[in-house]
Amino acid sequence: MTDLLTETHATTRLATVEQPEYDVGRSVDLSALPGYRLPMAGGYAVLDHATGQPMAFVDETNLNRHVLLDDTVAWHSADYCWGSGYVTTEGGSSQWNVPMCREVRSHAVVADYALQGSGLALTVTRTGGNCLTERYEWRNVTARPVVITGLGISTPFNDRYPGAARALDECVNAHVFAGGAWAWVLAKPMDGLGNRLGLIVRDGTINAYAVDTRNHVTYSNVRGHIMLEVTDRVLNPGAFGGQQAITLSPGEVYTLVWEIGWYASDEEFLAATKAPAKFSTLRIELGSRIEVSTTLPVTALDEGLTVSHTSSGALLTSDVPGVHQVAIGEGKQRSHTEVLFHKSLRQTVNDRVRYILNHQVAYERDGKLAGAMVATDIRTGRHVIDPSWNDWSDGSERIAMPVLVQRSLNMGFLDADLSVPAQRAADAWRDFAEAELIDSTGSCRRGSGQQPSEFGGRLYDVSWFVDFYTEHYRASADRHDLDMAVKMMDRAAYLGGEKFLCIEFAENTAAVSKLLEESGRFADAERIRSRVIASADYFLEVGRALPYHEVSYEQSMAAPLVSLLLQAYYFTGRREYLDGAKERLRWLLSFGGPQPDCRLRDIGIRHWDGYWFGINRQFGDVFPHYWSVLTAEVLARLPQSERTEETRRTALGIFKANLANVNADGSATCAYLFPSHVDGRAMSQADPLANDQDWALNIWMRMIREEGFPEA
C-alpha cells in the first residue's frame, strides 16, 4: 500500500444468515469491506465511511482472522462499534457513536462528538502508520469544573465460539490488562498461529474494564462487548485497587492515546509495552517476598501488604493470605496490579478438608443422603441444594469434595485429627453415590433429585466418579471400588464416550489401567487403554471440527484433547499422537495471556461459570477459574523432551493462582467475577458459594504424585 489513506468501493456486505444458537454470525470477506483504509505495518484498518470508526483490523498474512465483531453477529450492533462509548459526570451522562462532523485528511480521520448533558465535547483522531494511533480528547466546554466518574470505550474483540473450527480459524482470545498508565490488550488467534493484535496505552490511563451485552441467549459461547474504562468510580469505586474521579477545569482536556499494531509473538508485544516495573513473581507463599524492579515509587493499596524500598525498587511481603493491590508510580503515571500471598498447598488442603467436613457435608439429611457433600453459602453456612439447577445439585462437579478428602488422606496431606473423620466421610459419600447417583448399569445422574430417566445423561461426571473410586480403592483395597471404576468406564464407552472430551478421561484411564495390571487384570487394562487410542484416532481425524460439548468450544475442551493425545502417545509411542498434541497445545495456550496480574497471568479465559455455579448467577469473566489448572496439568504431563523451565514455571503459577479461591478459614469461592462491572452490575468480587473449585487442588496433588510436580 503506497497511500496512507485509500478507499475501497465495495457497496455490499454479506447478509446475515440464521445460525444455530452456538454459531451466531457468518464469515465476512474483510478485503471487500467498504470504507477508508489506514495502514498498519503488516496490514490495515478499515474505517466506516459515516463514522470513521474501525470496522476491522486486517492482517495481510491472514485475511480469515476477524479480530473485531461485525454486523453479521446478531447481538453486535452499531451501538458497540469500536470507539463508541459513554461518559458519566456529576452533571449527567452521555454516549457517543455517530460524530456530528468528520474530516478525512491525508494521514488521518478526525471525528468530533457533542456529549450532550455531560459538559464535555470529544475529538477522536485516528492516524495510520507503523501502528494505528487513536487519540481521544475530552474537553470541558462549560464555565465550571466537570467531574468525570465513569468513562468507557467499546473495543468489540471477536472473542466468541461460533463452533470450534470457525473459532480456531477466525476468532481471538482478548487478554486485557487494565493497569492504569500501564495498560494494554493482546488479542491472540485462537489457534495460536500468526500475528497478534496489540493495543498499548501511551498517554492517559485505563483503570478497569467491563463487559456489556453479556446476559443474552447465547449463554456460554460469547464473551460480550469489552469496555475499556478510564474510570468506573460511578459503578464500582473500589474495583482494581480503587477508581478515581477526573476533574477538568473549564477548557481543560483529558487525553487518552493508544497504539494498535500487529506483533509476531507475545514477547515482541510485551517488549513494546515498555513495562514500568518487573515482578520476580506474582504469586508466592506467606513468609517469602516479591521483588519489584522499578525506578518509580511503589505503594501498597491495602493494609495487608508491606512495601520495603530498595535501591532497585521494592520488596513486597505480607502476613495476610490473599490477593493484595499494589501501585507503581504516582499521578498520571500511576499503574496498579495485584499479587497473591498464599498458604502452602498442604495448609490450604487441610483448611479446605476441615471446612468441608464441618460445613459442606449434608448431615441434616436422612439415611444415605446424609453422606452427600454439597455447595454452601459461606456467608450463612446454609447448604445450597437445588434439584432443578444441575450445578447446585448434590452430584456432578461436587464430586470434587470427596475426591479431595480421599486423595489428601491417601497422600498424607492431612493433619492427624482429620484422618478418621475424613475416611468416614469418604466412605459415607461412596454409599450415598451408589444409592442415589449411580444405577445398576454404571450410568450416573447429576443429582439425587433428578428423575431416573436422567441416568446416563452426562458423560463428564463419569470420569469424576472414576477418579473417586480410584482413590477410594487405594485406601480400601476393596475390589468393589476398582470394579465400579471399570463398570462406569465401560458404560461411558457404550454411551459414546470415545467421541467426547471428558475432563480427566486420559489421566483416569492411565491410573485405572495401572491398578488393574497390578491386580493381574490385564485384559481389563488393555480394553480401557484401547479406548484412549480409539478416541485419539477419532479426534485426530476430525481435526479442528470438534463436536459440540456443553459449550461449542472452550479451554476445557482443548486441554482434555491435548491430554488424550499425550496419553495415546504414552501408550503406543506413535509420533502422530505427540505431533497432534503439540499442535493443539498452541490452541490451549492461546486461552491464557501474559498479564502481570496474579489472577490473570496464563489463566484460561472463562466467562460463564459464575452464572451456572455461583449464587449470584452472573455471567462475566471468571479469573482464576479452577479449570484453568487443566492447562497446568497438560504442561506437567508433557514428555521430558518437551518440558522446559518455562512450562514448569507456567504450570506452577497457574496452580498457585487458584489458591486465591480458598479463604483463610477454608471456605472458598466457585467464581471470582473479575471485570469492574458486567451489564451494569458491579463485579470485581468473589461469589459467596463454595461449590466446585476443589478440582484445582485435586489436580495439583495428582500431578505431585504421578508426575513428581513440585508443591511449591
Please write the tens of the pLDDT for every residue from 653-692.
Answer: 999 999 999 999 999 999 999 999 999 999 999 999 999 9
How much of the chain exceeds pLDDT 70, in percent? 96
- What is the β-pairing status of strands 283-285 and 335-342? parallel
Contacts of 176 (CB under 8 A, 6+ apart): 185, 209, 226, 228, 593, 595
CA dihedral 275, 279, 280, 284 (to 10 degrees): -150
Query: In this structure, what C-alpha cell is assigned to residue 110?
Result: 478526525
What is the side-by-side strand order in the sheet with 54-59?
Answer: 6-8, 35-40, 43-47, 54-59
Nearest to 474 by CA among 424, 509, 514: 514
Residue 68 exposure: Cα atoms within 13 Å on the Cβ side: 27
Is 323's pLDDT higher than 90?
Answer: yes
| pLDDT band for position 27 (cuts 50, 70, 90) | low
Distance (Å, rounded) from C-alpha 651 to C-alpha 635? 6
Give Cα separations from 634 to 2, 127, 703 (angstroms): 46, 43, 10
Grouping H, G, I as helix, E, B as strand and the rest as coil, residue 94 is strand
Is 287's pLDDT higher than 80?
Answer: yes
| pLDDT band for position 627 (cuts 50, 70, 90) | very high
- What is the β-pairing status of strands 306-310 and 677-678? unpaired
Contact 145, 250 (CB under 8 A): yes
Average pLDDT score, the chain: 94
User: Which of 80-89, 97-106, 529-538 has the lowest average pLDDT?
Assistant: 97-106
For 394-416, write each residue's pLDDT tens digit.
999 999 999 999 999 999 999 99
Mean pLDDT, range 275-302, rounded to an integer = 97
Contacts of 94 (CB under 8 A, 6+ apart): 86, 87, 115, 116, 117, 118, 120
For 136-194, write each residue's pLDDT tens digit.
999 999 999 999 999 999 999 999 999 999 999 999 999 999 999 999 999 999 999 99
Mean pLDDT, range 71-100, rounded to an integer = 93
Distance (Å, rounded) from C-alpha 161 to C-alpha 552? 6
Is 10's pLDDT higher than 90?
Answer: no
Per-position b or e across 213-246, b if 16+ CB within 10 A of its CB: bbbeebbbbbbbbbbbbbbbbbbbeebbbbbeeb
Is 15's pLDDT higher than 60?
Answer: no
pLDDT value at position 346?
Answer: 98
Please indicate whether residue 34 or residue 193 has the higher confidence score (pLDDT): 193
Nearest to 429 by CA among 492, 475, 374: 374
| pLDDT band for position 5 (cuts 50, 70, 90) | very low
Cis, bond preceding 402 (omega within 30 deg of 0): no
Q: Which element (helix H / strand E) includes 473?
A: helix 460-476
CA angle, 612 then 615 then 617, to 5° = 45
Nearest to 601 by CA among 628, 620, 627, 582: 628
Contacts of 302 (CB under 8 A, 6+ apart): 324, 325
For 493-531, write each residue's pLDDT tens digit.
999 999 999 999 999 999 999 999 999 999 999 999 999
Is 24's pLDDT higher than 80?
Answer: no
Sign of CA dihedral 185, 189, 191, 194: negative
pLDDT value at position 4?
Answer: 35
State the SS3 of 107-137: CEEEEEEEECCCCEEEEEEEECCCCEEEEEE
Distance (Å, rounded) from C-alpha 530 to C-alpha 145? 73
Give 104: exposed, middle or buried? Use CB within 10 Å, 0-12, 13-18, 19+. Answer: middle
pLDDT value at position 103?
Answer: 87
Is 286's pLDDT higher than 70?
Answer: yes
Alpha helices in 548-674 (DSSP H): 555-572, 575-590, 609-613, 629-636, 645-657
Distance (Å, rounded) from C-alpha 312 to C-alpha 130? 34
pLDDT value at position 21?
Answer: 42
Is 11's pLDDT higher than 70?
Answer: no
**Secondary structure letter of residue 66 according to DSSP:** -
Distance (Å, rounded) from C-alpha 701 to C-alpha 629? 11
For 524-564, write each residue's pLDDT tens digit.
999 999 999 999 999 999 999 999 999 999 999 999 999 99
How much of the chain exceeds pLDDT 90, in percent? 91
Contact 35, 8 (CB under 8 A): yes
Taking the alpha carbons at both ends of the chain, their separation in whole angstroms is 53
Helix axes 479-494 and 460-476, enclosed angle (nearest 10)? 170
Query: In this structure, what C-alpha cell is assigned to residue 317?
Result: 511481603
Is 12's pLDDT higher than 90?
Answer: no
pLDDT value at position 137?
Answer: 98
pLDDT value at position 217?
Answer: 54
Is 40's pLDDT higher than 50?
Answer: yes
Give Cα separations from 204 to 149, 277, 334 (angstroms): 15, 18, 10
Nearest to 54 by CA among 63, 64, 66, 42: 66
Distance (Å, rounded) from C-alpha 170 to C-alpha 163? 11
The length of the chain is 712
Contacts of 381 (CB under 8 A, 6+ apart): 359
